[in-house]
Amino acid sequence: MDAEEKLEKSRKRVTESIAQNIHLYGLPPSAGRQFGMMFFEDRPLTLDDMSAKLGMSKTSMSTSIRALSDGKLVERVWEKGVRKDLYKAKEDWYQIFIDMFTVQWRRAVSLHISAVRKSLRELRELKGDESLTEELLLEIDSDIEKLDYTLNYYDWLDRLIDAFEDHKIFDLVPLKEDEN
């Protein structure tokens, strides 16, 4: 096996690893292969370039590139004299993770907080019903206590998301210095 084949084998191994793990970002393996291939390219690519390199249809490339772009893993770039859209993989994997993590978790936290607050309102109103048994009142109080606990958890999670967004997370978990 010559050097070029070894290089290609090495890139393919990493690309397949990305494809197998891209589901963590809510994306299909094909988008992972596309991102992996783009990661190793030193120049922006058109959909035609990507289609030829991966042997996938241009339609499939377009769908994946849209998902990768929505996830902020790739960006559209401009080059003088080129009329087709060009795309380049973002190189800052830390920021890619932060963008994906914060968008998904903010959405989840918001959904959960809304449901918990609505339930708390209803339970507190229900407590005013004088026809409730002592047993049911105890259950309601227990549920209120549990839901108050979850609000504290979501407050903590919200602050954790803030720590990622404002990069304070790097104070807690510093980036390694480049040893080159």
Own/partner pairs for 48-51, CB < 8 Å, 24+ apart? 48/84, 50/87
Average pLDDT over residues 62-73: 92
- The domain at 3-91 falls in which architecture? Orthogonal Bundle (1.10)
Average pLDDT over residues 98-106: 89
Query: Tell me, what's the pLDDT at 180?
Result: 42
Evaluate if residue 53 carries a pLDDT over 80: yes
Question: Helix, strand, or coil here: 69?
Answer: helix
Evaluate if residue 170 carries a pLDDT over 50: yes
C-beta of residue 50 within 8 angstroms of C-beta of residue 65: yes
User: Domains of the chain: which residue ranges?
Assistant: 3-91, 94-172
Closest CA to 116 of 153, 84, 142, 151: 151
Percent of the chain at pLDDT > 90 equals 80
Q: Look at 100 and 113; give whichever has higher pLDDT.
A: 113
Query: Tell me, what's the pLDDT at 101?
Result: 86
